[in-house]
A and B are shown apart, each in its own frame.
Chain A
Amino acid sequence: MNVINMKESYDAEFVRAVERESGQNVSLCYQCGNCTAGCPYTEFYDLPVSRIMRGLQAGQRDALLSCRSLWLCATCESCTTRCPNNIDVATIMDVLRHMARKAGKAPEPAVKTFCDAFLDSVRRHGRVFEMGLMTRYMARTGRFLSDVDLSLKVLPKRKLAMRPHDIVGKESIARIYERYDRKEGKQ
C-alpha cells in the first residue's frame, strides 16, 4: 500500500485543470468501485480506474500522469455508463491522457506510436491509409514481424488498398492540423 503525504503532494491546480477540461466534479466519486468492476482492462492496468479517481481527488499529478492505465483505456464507456453519480469517467481518462502527452510521458510507447502514426496518416491523406499506417508503425517501432500472419490472410482478400485514397480537400485537413499546431504553440 502506498502512503502519501497529502500536505506535500496535493496539487490543487492539477485537480482544477482536470475538472475544467473534463467538465466533471471529481469530488462526487465515493469509491463504490463500479467503474473498476466493469472495466475490461483492469487486468492490464497498473492502476485500476477507481484508484485513478481517488488519486485525482488527492491531487496526485505525477503518479497519475505516469501510469500505464491511461494508455490502455480503450474508451469503451463502461465506467461512464455505470457510474452511479453520473461522472463521465472516460472523459476524465481522456483528459489525463492529454496531460500525460503534454508532459512528455508515454509508458506505453507502442500505443502512442500507433496513435501518432494514425493521425499522421489522416494529416497526409485526409483518410486513414491502413497499409501506410502499418508500414509507418512498423518502421517506428522496429516491430517488422507483428501481424505478418494477418497480412498473409488479408492480402489475397484484396481488402487493403495499396495506395492511399487521397481526398480532394486534403489541404483542408492539413489546415485543421496547422491551425491546431499553431494554437498549441508547436509551430
Chain B
Amino acid sequence: MSRSLRFAYYPGCSGQGTSIEYDRSTRGICRALGIELVDIPDWSCCGSTPAHTVDHVLSAALSARNILQAESLKDVRGIITPCPSCLTNLKTAARRMRDADFKARVDSLLDAPCRNDLPVMSVLQVIYQELGPEAVKARVTSPLTGLKVAPYYGCIMNRPPEIMDFDDCENPIAMDRLMLAAGAEVMPFPLKVECCGASFGVARNEVVTRLSGKLLDAAACCGASAMVTACPLCQMNLDLRQGQINRANGSRHDLPIFYYTQLIGMALGLNGSDLMLDKLCVDPKTLLRHMRAAQSAAAS
C-alpha cells in the first residue's frame, strides 16, 4: 500500500444537498493539507439508517456496492468519508462481511463480489492521525483566536469502539485538538457523544427539539459562542431546526453551528467559495466580525 495520502472519497448523498458546505469545505481543506481525494466512481447511497432497520444484508449490499466501486481505483490507501452515518454503514458492512456466510449473502445481491480489503476511515480520522494537529497548526495563517467553540461529535463517529476504532468512545478529542490547532478556544462540552435526535425531525419532531435543545442549552451554559460538528444530520438538526427548537422549548439560542472543516478552512485562509459559510441558517457573520475585531484590537 502506498504511503501517499491518496484516498477513495465517498461524499454521501447529503453532501450534494443539505450539507453541500460540508462536502465543499472538506474538499477545500484536504486540497490545502495535501490529502488527495479521488471520488468513488458512480457512488450510490449507503442506505443510511433506514436500510439497517429493514435488513442487515440489504444494508451491507448497498454499502458494499460502493466498496466494490472503490476497489476499481488504483493506489488508494482506503476509503474516506466526511459523514458519520455513511462511515458507520461502510465500516459495519465491512466488519460483518468478515463472516464468510454473511459475505456470501451480500455478494449474492451484488453484480460482482467485493474484495473487502480497503480500510474505511472518516476524513477527521485521516486528518488527525495521518497529519496531526501540529501539522495543521503549522499551516494556519489566520488563527481563530477568541472563538469559543463547543465540539460536538455526534453519537456514532466513535461508537461502538469495536467497529469505529478511532479516538475515545465517551470523550473523543480529535476535533478538540484540531480546533486548538486552528487557534480557537475549546469549551469543556460534556455532551460530545449524546444523540441529537437523528432523523426523527420529520416523523417525530419533538424528539429532535428535546434532544437537540439539550445540546444547545449545554453548549450555551459552557460559554460557547458556537458549536462545531462533524455530522450532516447533527448540523442540520442544530442549525436548520434551531428556530423550531427555540419555539418548542421557549429558548432563545442564536448559536452558529459550523462544520469543523469550515473552521479549519478559515484558519488555513481558504476563501468563501470553499467554505460556503452563507449556507448556514444561523448566520455566523456577526460572531466572526467580533472575533476579527477583537483580534485586531489585541494586535494594535
List A residues 113-136 near B (Cβ within 8 Å). 113-116, 118-119, 122, 126-128, 130-131, 134
With known contacts A77-B156, A179-B109, A119–B204 Cβ distance under 8 A: no
- Cα A175 to Cα B65 with chains together (Å): 11
Chain A interface residue count, CB cutoff 8 Å, equals 60
Q: Determine whether A2 belongs to the interface, using a CB cutoff of 8 Å to chain B.
A: no
Contact segment of A6-14, A58-66, A145-153: A145-153
Instruction: Kindly supply a per-residue 1/0 record for chain B positions 195-211, scoring 1 wherever the CB is within 8 Å of any chain A CB and 0 otherwise.
Output: 10111111111010011
Q: Which residue of A lies closest to B155 (CB)?
A: A76
Contact of A119 among B14, B50, B109 (CB under 8 A): B50
Q: Determine whether A168 belongs to the interface, using a CB cutoff of 8 Å to chain B.
A: yes
Instruction: Kindly supply a per-residue 1/0 record for chain B positions 51-69, scoring 1 wherever the CB is within 8 Å of any chain A CB and 0 otherwise.
Output: 1111111100110010000
Instruction: Kindly supply a per-residue 1/0 record for chain B positions 209-225, scoring 1 wherever the CB is within 8 Å of any chain A CB and 0 otherwise.
Output: 01100000000000000
Contact of B198 among A76, A116, A127 (CB under 8 A): A76
Q: Which residue of B lies closest to A181 (CB)?
A: B58
Task: List residues of chain B with CB within 8 A of the CB of A130.
Answer: 13-14, 17-18
- Cα A105 to Cα B272 with chains together (Å): 49
- Cα A127 to Cα B62 with chains together (Å): 10
Task: List residues of chain B with CB within 8 A of the CB of A161.
Answer: 16-17
Contact of A41 among B51, B203, B207 (CB under 8 A): B207
**Is B240 within 8 A of A110, CB to CB?**
no
- Cα A111 to Cα B60 with chains together (Å): 21
**Is A157 within 8 A of B48, CB to CB?**
no
Task: List residues of chain A with CB within 8 A of the CB of B160.
Answer: 77, 80-81, 88, 90
**Is B61 within 8 A of A78, CB to CB?**
no
Task: List residues of chain B with CB within 8 A of the CB of A111.
Answer: 200, 203-204
Task: List residues of chain A with CB within 8 A of the CB of B50.
Answer: 114-116, 118-119
Other 4 A-B pairs with CB < 8 A, given A76-B195, A176-B58: A41-B195, A111-B203, A127-B16, A154-B281
